[in-house]
Chain A
Amino acid sequence: MITAPAPEAPHWVQMLLSLLGVLGGTTGLAAIATVVSQRGKFKADAADTLTEAALTLVQPLQVRITELEGEALHARSELGTLREQVNQLQFLVRVLSRTLDRWRTAVHAPDATLRKIRAVVAESERLSEDR
């Protein structure tokens, strides 16, 4: 391409290019050496990063699960107590409505007298005391 008569470029160009070449070569070697010698670090750090990322995702979920499990347990025990209370109340309502029916029939009876009604009430009081 260049067949100029000048046999050589100026001396400073040669110096500059030599310097550039040596500098580039050493930089490249240094880069390889650094990365190869730090291999373990990169691997560990990459793994750490992943583990950490996974943990940051999993940990809140775990906390939430524990919370929800506690809440579920609480709710279940409360449900048991309430069901028992409902049973008791149902039983009470049945007893009371039966008593009320009996009193009503006693009151509405054609031959109802105060004495008879009092007897019926006293009997139901006795029954409830027995129970």
Chain B
Amino acid sequence: MVKLRVRARHQPFEVAALVTTPICGVLLLVLDVRPPSVQMSMPEPIQVGWEIALIIVGLGGLLGILWPGQFSTGLGVELASVLVLGTITGMYAVALVAVAGPQGVVAASLIAAVPAGSFWRAAQIAVDLRCLAKGHQCATHRRVVGGVT
């Protein structure tokens, strides 16, 4: 019953971002290119980590959403993924602003929406996990249990 509630809350934007991120990472790796803003504003090891994180985050996030095992574990994997997704997209937004300045306003602000949404979703998941951990003390959870029974 808890499953239904949180699953029903799935966010199209989150899933779309998680699907596109690994595609982007793989393309960067295969084509052996990097955005100039990233190249200029990050040290080499961080660049590599950033690129790999793109792939891991996307796959991990989708894995967390489709997690076949225990529900809270899936939520935890998803939580970690959206946290890291927020971090790496935030890094890219900062890099864009730092390198392109006012010219990158549109790109930077649109990209900044991804970390904002990611951290928002992370907060939601954290609340859900707290509900799962102390179920009966949580109003939303009690409402769900009450609604089903």
Residues of A within 8 A of B (CB): 1-4, 6-10, 13-14, 16-18, 20-21, 23-25, 27-29, 31-32, 34-36, 38-39, 41-43, 45-46, 48-50, 52-54, 57
The 5 closest A-B pairs by CB, nearest first: A24-B87, A35-B76, A49-B135, A42-B72, A9-B41
Instruction: Tell me if B145 is interfacial: C-beta within 8 Å of chain A.
Output: yes
B99–A42 touching, CB < 8 Å: no
Complex CA–CA separation, A2 to B36 (angstroms): 6
What is the interface of chain B mostly: helix, strand, loop, or mixed?
A: helix
What is the interface of chain A mostly: helix, strand, loop, or mixed?
A: helix
Given A45-B134, A53-B145: 20 more A-B contacts, CB < 8 Å: A1-B36, A2-B37, A2-B104, A14-B46, A17-B42, A17-B95, A21-B46, A21-B53, A24-B91, A25-B87, A27-B83, A27-B84, A32-B80, A35-B72, A35-B75, A35-B76, A38-B133, A39-B72, A41-B133, A52-B136
A46-B98 contact in complex given A17-B46, A24-B87, A35-B129, C-beta closer than 8 Å: no
Q: Closest B-chain residue to A8, C-beta based? A: B40
Q: Which residues of A contact B53 (CB under 8 A)?
A: 21, 25
Q: Which residues of A contact B35 (CB under 8 A)?
A: 1
B interface bracket (residues with beta carbon within 8 Å of A): 35 or more
A23–B87 touching, CB < 8 Å: yes
Residues of B within 8 A of A (CB): 2, 35-37, 40-43, 46, 49-50, 53, 57, 70, 72-73, 75-77, 79-81, 83-84, 86-88, 90-91, 94-95, 98-100, 103-104, 129, 132-136, 141, 145-146, 149
Q: Which residues of A contact B145 (CB under 8 A)?
A: 49-50, 53
Complex CA–CA separation, A38 to B46 (angstroms): 31
